[in-house]
Chains A and B, each alone.
Chain A
Amino acid sequence: MTFDIHVMASAFLYILPAVPRTVLLAAFVLGAGIVLGAGIAVLRIGRHRILNPVLAVWVSFTRAVPAIVQIFIAYYTVPFLLAPVLSAAAGAEVKPFDVSPYWTGCLLFILYHAAYQSENIRGALLSVPKGQYEAAMSIGMTPGQARLHIVFPQALSVVLPTFFTYYLHALKALALLFTIRVVDIFSAADIYAALVSRRTEPYAADALVYWMLCLILTAGYHRLEASLTRRGRAG
């Protein structure tokens, strides 16, 4: 079997419609993960006697176990947990096998990114010198005000630039959902490979799609960053 450039071109066209879907799904799961992770980071800094160790164990598990293993575990548990909830919401019986793998994929990756982001954000919060908080208290701010107006903005400036790197990770991590039939940029190539029974060209086309997408996203991010820096200086 030789390399057929026409197959690669048609695979490329087949994969393209999956790009916006994947870009949005990655943004959604990472965004939700960041919100949840921020909550967990604040809770863990609070050093609750029971919550802190429980969350620490969960974060350690999620960060240590390969995503593919977590996907399989989620695939065989989440539908059983969601089916009763969806049944109640829909008012009709929903069987576990009717629960779309998209639900499982979304829920899994939100929790996955939340674990990573909780550590990322916790590190940023801890990087703000304690004196900042104490100074805010000494001028009569309440603890809540000191956190909201003094500590959080400084932590945000540390953590914001890391989100783009994490976004690219989130985009790539979705590829593994092909194992549970969620169609992203990688799955599309895999499906096309099965459709035409050729495995050489579709993956090459897919590599091209990923590469171009990441180059475009990175260029866009750098432009945004440059304009924000300019505005920051002007203000």
Chain B
Amino acid sequence: MLSFDPSYFLAVFPQIAAALPFTFYVVAAAAAMSLLAGAAVAAVRIARVPVLYALCEVWLSFVRSMPFVLLLFLMYFTVPAFLRAAGLDTSRLPKEVYVFAAVVFGFAPVIGEVIRPAYLSVDRGQHDAARAFGFSDFDRIFRIIVPQMIPVAAPPLMNQVIEIVKDTSLMYLIGLMDLMGRANLLIHVNMGRGKLENYAAVALLYWVLVAVLEAAAQYLSRRSSGGFPGGAS
């Protein structure tokens, strides 16, 4: 009963790998949006904006308690019910929008907690010096402070991207054709046979994908540490 057909595995592997671009697109878009939202959360918490600060705290505690699959189902089933009640039509939204919503909702406060300490790790004197040199607020943050945050923030941010890669593997549950979606479709077409070969192909692809990202994270942290004269490290 327990069998593994290498030739079938080799046949389905490229068909499942064909879903990689879609997976990349969802992960890259979701990660970019989460980074922006996370930066906003960090800004709110650094500036201690009165009501929003407390809201971010509650938000973080909420999403930390939830498995990602529940966040995804809340975005896909529960939130649209409220949107419909408010008179908004959600039926024509592409399904990946729900994945983006779930990832941003689930990761923004966590990424905020990565960015905030990185910002605070840059010496206060750097701000004073930039002001003394007449840098505008925008230039002070993006040309002086952010480059010094990178060595501190890049490795944990990369870990969050890896988490996003792994969590978005659940998007097949709402009917998207990512790696798992393809595998399930191929199994279905094959009348339920060859499950192991298909899932092994998915596992192998994820393994390579995450290994590459981990190597990139290590390269980033090695290269960026000490790369900036007078940097944080």
Contact = CB atoms under 8 A, between A and B. Distances in A.
Given A3-B81, A203-B78, A72 B206 contact: no
Interface in A51-72: 60-61, 63-70, 72
A96 to B, nearest CB: 6
A226 B135 CA distance: 46
Contacts of B200: 73
A213 B67 contact: no
A172 B195 CA distance: 26
A210 interface: yes
A211 to B, nearest CB: 5
B65 A66 contact: no
A210 B70 contact: yes
A200 B78 contact: yes
Contact of A186 (B69, B85, B199, B214): B69
A2 B202 contact: no
Given A77-B196, A215-B65, A65 B207 contact: yes
A168 B110 CA distance: 15
Interface of B is mostly: helix
B169 A66 contact: yes
A73 B66 contact: no
Contact of B65 (A72, A80, A178, A211): A211
Contacts of B223: none
Given A186-B67, A207-B70, A3 B202 contact: no
B64 A204 contact: no
B203 interface: yes
Contacts of B195: 72, 76
Given A3-B81, A200-B77, A68 B170 contact: yes
Interface residues of B, number: 37
A81 B196 CA distance: 14
Nearest to B85: A2
Interface string B63-104: 011111110011001100110110000000000000000000
Contacts of B206: 64-66, 69
B54 interface: no
A172 B199 contact: no
Given A207-B74, A211-B62, A96 B67 contact: no
A173 interface: yes
A135 interface: no
Contact of B66 (A200, A201, A207, A215): A207
Contacts of B67: 172-176, 186, 210
Contact of B202 (A69, A174, A207, A213): A69
A193 B64 CA distance: 23
B61 interface: yes
B188 interface: no
B23 to A, nearest CB: 11
- The listed residue with most A CB atoms (<10 A of its CB), out of B66, B73, B82, is B73
B174 to A, nearest CB: 11
Contact of A2 (B64, B66, B81): B81
Interface string A75-92: 011001100000000000
A21 interface: no
Contacts of A222: none
Identify which of A67, A193, A204 gathers the most chain B CB atoms within 10 Å of its CB: A204
Given A80-B1, A210-B67, A69 B199 contact: yes
Given A60-B207, A200-B78, 15 more contacts: A1-B84, A3-B85, A60-B211, A61-B207, A66-B206, A69-B206, A72-B199, A96-B1, A173-B67, A174-B67, A178-B69, A186-B70, A199-B73, A210-B66, A214-B64
